[in-house]
Amino acid sequence: MAPLVINGTEDTPEVIFEPATGKFSISGTSIPENARKFYDQILEWLDGYLKEPAADTCISFKLKYFNTASTKYLFDIMVLLKPLAASKNTLVYNWYFLDDDEDMFEAGQGFSKMLRYPFNFVKY
């Protein structure tokens, strides 16, 4: 399976998913004009990845800002990956936030609680 690489723009995050290593990252700003169009390609790629996942999957979210529409799709990504933790695979969610950005920290805590899965919270 080929990696998924989407260059970030002012409105969309950079996405780098490396299936061979199981290292995934979504970083930047997520305020796409059409969130469904942007995130559907990611969800479709993940469907393929889940058929033959790496032994260890680690997804890092390093977002400066995301809008309400993006919230749904970010959560969809998290939900889609969560079954890996119930299998023989390992799953790690890393949530990065600026030291003084309490809103982003709380957003990560909210996702973790809704997902009922622990996140690693990383200040930068």
Domain spans, the chain: 4-123
pLDDT in tens, 41-93: 999 999 999 999 999 999 999 999 999 999 999 999 999 999 999 888 999 99
pLDDT in tens, 87-107: 889 999 999 999 999 999 999
Q: Which residue has the tokens 């690489």?
A: 5
Q: What predicted TM-score, i.e. pTM, was given to this entire model?
A: 0.96
Alpha carbon 47 to chain centroid, angstroms: 14
Superfamily of domain 4-123: STAS domain (3.30.750.24)
pLDDT band for position 21 (cuts 50, 70, 90): very high
Structure tokens at 25: 């990252």
pLDDT of 87: 84
Which residues are CB-neighbours of 17 under 8 A, at least 6 positions away? Answer: 3, 4, 5, 24, 25, 42, 45, 46, 49
Q: Is residue 22 packed enough to be buried (19+ CB in 10 Å), middle (13-18) or exposed (0-12)?
A: buried
pLDDT of 81: 97
Instruction: For residue 52, count other CB atoms closer than 10 A to its CB.
Output: 8
